[in-house]
Amino acid sequence: MAIDVAGTTVLITGASAGLGVEFAHRFAARGANLVLVARRADRLEALATELRGAHGIIVTVLPADLAAPGVGASLHQELTNRGITVDSLINNAGFGTHGAFVDEDLERVTSEIQLNIATLVELTHTFLPDLLTGRGALVNVASTASFQPTPGMAVYGASKAFVLNFTEALWAEARGSGLTVLAVCPGPTRTEFFDVVGSEDAAVGRMQTATQVVDTAFRALDRRYAPPTVVSGLPNWVSSISTRFATRRLGALISGRLLGDVRMKAETKRSSTSAA
């Protein structure tokens, strides 16, 4: 039983690269009209032109900084002004940072929290009334990092743990509404993610392609009763359930070792004295 999105409108965030582009191709192939949102307008326009030509669908491009507070309300207002109602929402936008937390740039970490958590929540809350009137889907991209603490990527892992738990709660709340709610948990994936992170130490295990991850997502969406969460790739699934058999302490230590054994370095405080 395939999810029927033909003629509906799907909003995809982070649509200029990686999983966002793959989700766009997949929904377009099923006859869905698209709203593509990301910062890089040139990439969005190129993708929109390609998809319109290949599938004869309507593609709306909305360049936006998704890490800006209030972006959900502004996007919804813009679409309302254009007479566009969103039936499905794919919260794909997000980024990660790597390194000892004490050394990270606070402004960048705050932006990471805003995009990965606050914007996702805002978009979901803003568009949910529209999603609940149709037969669409709410897909939030979490991560295998959400299943255990991630020393070296402390904020990223914590933000994805929020996304996972938040989405699973909404899955339970949405039962019987006709809305399919799904958290997708990729492991390391060949996208621009690690370029943004700045290190491939965060890549634990064999990398998948964006196509493989989105294949996994659609297999779940096409089920008669979609699960709340799906992990992409058998090794990643095994890793995710193995955390149930370890203490939180052990899980943090193992995860930290795999992510490069990042540690904080104590700095000696020096007191200065002035000569008389």
pLDDT tens digit sequence for 89-145: 999 999 999 899 999 999 999 999 999 999 999 999 999 999 999 889 999 999 999
Which regions of the chain does DSSP assign to beta strands (E)? 9-13, 33-38, 59-63, 88-91, 137-141, 180-185, 229-231
Is there a domain that residue 271 lies in? Answer: no
The rounded distance, in Å, linking the Cα atoms of 173 and 167 is: 10
State how far the Cα of 247 lies from the Cα of 177, in Å rounded to an integer.
37
Q: What is the DSSP letter of 114?
A: I
Q: Give the helix, strand, coil percentages of the chain, each rounded to 5.
A: 50, 15, 40
Q: Is the pTM of this model over 0.95?
A: no
- Listed in sequence order, the residues at least 6 apart from 124 whose beta carbon sits closer than 8 Å to its beta carbon are 89, 91, 138, 140, 170
- The domain that contains 168 carries what CATH number? 3.40.50.720
For residue 252, being part of any structural domain is answered with yes
Positions annotated as catalytic residues are 156
What is the domain extent for residue 221?
9-258
Residue 98 domain-assigned?
yes
Q: How many domains does the chain have?
A: 1
Residues across the chain: 276
Measured between its terminal Cα atoms, the distance across the chain in Å is 85
Residue 126 lies in a domain: yes
In a domain, 106, yes or no: yes
154 falls within a domain: yes
CA 130, chain centre distance (Å): 21
Q: Roughly what angle, to the nearest 10 degrees, separates helices 120-131 and 71-81? A: 30
Angle in degrees, 0-180, between the axes of helices 106-113 and 154-173, rounded to the nearest 10: 10
Residue 267 in domain: no
Per-residue pLDDT of the chain (276 residues; tens, 9 = 90+): 678 999 999 999 999 999 999 999 999 999 999 999 999 999 999 999 999 999 999 999 999 999 999 999 999 999 999 999 999 999 999 999 989 999 999 999 999 999 999 999 999 999 999 999 988 999 999 999 999 988 999 999 999 999 999 999 999 999 999 999 999 999 988 876 555 544 555 555 678 999 999 999 999 999 989 999 999 988 888 887 777 777 777 677 666 777 777 787 765 444 333 332
> What is the spatial distance between Cα 142 and Cα 184, in angstroms, rounded to a whole number?
6
The answer to whether residue 268 sits within a structural domain is no
Looking up tokens 């699934």, which residue turns up?
237
